[in-house]
Chain A
Amino acid sequence: MSVTSVEKDLASLTLTITADLEATVERAWQLWADARQFERWWGPPGYPVTVVDHDLRAGGRITFFMTGTEGERHDSSWEVVAADPPHRLELRDADVDGDGRPNDGNAITAMVVTFDERDSGGAVMAVCTHFDSLAGMEEHAGFEEGMRGVFAQIEAVLAGTPA
């Protein structure tokens, strides 16, 4: 297991996950900096990620969408607050509608990703996610949960019982 620690702060709605990666710091940075690589790990299996814009510089924007099993599209848009390759990345994430505009009352989350060299070789990647609102957390946490809900509904329909 390469996740070495998970810290949750209920009061500030912050989650920090730290993982040891079998890669150099530069290589680990590419997981985020290379759009094709990012597409391969961000979304759960069965929900392909397509990166639209990927300008990983301070002030730049990263936009991508995830396609669900029934073709539904989940858009994301991030603003790059700071990018200091290959050590630190700071992003702000806003949920957006189909036209790329932030949804009303949406939640903004901030993410700080750091990459450090491990003495024994390899990289330590830490991702600190801060949620401005619980709704943003629900968007994140609820995505896969929501998918399960959809499946439960389908099953209920097939079984002829109300969901």
Chain B
Amino acid sequence: MVVASQRNAEADRIFHALADGTRRDILAVAGAGTYSVSALAKRYPMSFAAVQKHVAVLEGAGLITKEQRGRERIVHTDVDTLQRARTLLDGIEDLWRARVERIDDLLATEKRTTGGKR
């Protein structure tokens, strides 16, 4: 299960990164336009260092990549990683749909066996 635990560690980083409002905003902003770290920093009422730290967390989780462009570092949102979270939610939806189907079957079986008294 080495692969699974590696995957989980990676997943933890992704979630930790997503758990913060500023970081989610950075993802949205960097996904919609071209921003350097310093341009991003101007958007938030916090220090450059604080924004830089958020960017580093996002980068560590694979949610963004940085590209050196001249003296600027341009931040790109990694859509694939976000897509992974979406795929996971889809998987959980499937799980619950299957559970509700089993509940329906259970209730229907009971109705038949008790002559619909419930």
Q: What residues make up the interface of A, taking CB atoms closer than 8 Å to B? A: 2-3, 6, 8, 10-11, 13, 15, 17, 19, 21-24, 27, 31, 37, 40-42, 44, 105, 107, 127, 129, 131-135, 137-146
Bin the interface of chain B by size. 35 or more
Q: Report how far A44 CA is from B111 CA in the complex, Å.
A: 22
Asked whether B8 lies within 8 Å of A23 as measured between CB atoms, the reply is no
Closest chain A CB from B1 CB (angstroms):
10
A-B contact pairs, 14 of them (CB 8 A): A8-B89, A11-B24, A19-B103, A21-B104, A23-B107, A24-B118, A40-B102, A132-B15, A135-B9, A137-B88, A141-B89, A141-B95, A144-B95, A145-B91
Residue numbers in B under 8 Å from A129 (CB-CB): 92, 96
Is A13 within 8 A of B103, CB to CB? no
Checking A22, A134, A146 against B88 with a beta-carbon cut-off of 8 angstroms, the contacting residue is: A134
Give complex CA distance A31, B7 in Å: 33
A142 touches B91 (CB 8 A): yes
Distance A141 CA – B118 CA, assembled complex (angstroms): 33
Q: Which label, helix, strand, loop or mixed, suits the secondary structure of the A interface?
A: mixed
* Chain B residues closer than 8 Å to A146, beta-carbon distance: 4
CB proximity of A28 to chain B, nearest CB, Å: 8
A37 and B89 CA atoms in complex are apart in Å by: 26
- Residues on B lying within 8 angstroms of A by beta carbon are 4, 7-9, 11-12, 14-16, 18, 24, 82, 84-100, 102-104, 106-108, 111, 118
From the candidates B85, B94, B107, name the one contacting A22 in the complex (CB within 8 A): B107
Complex CA gap A37/B82 in Å reads: 37
With A and B bound together, what is the CA distance between A155 and B65 in angstroms? 38
A6 and B90 alpha carbons, distance in the complex (Å): 10
- Assess the A137–B11 pair: CB atoms within 8 A: yes
Given contacts A22-B108, A105-B9, A134-B11, contact A41 B102 (CB under 8 A): yes
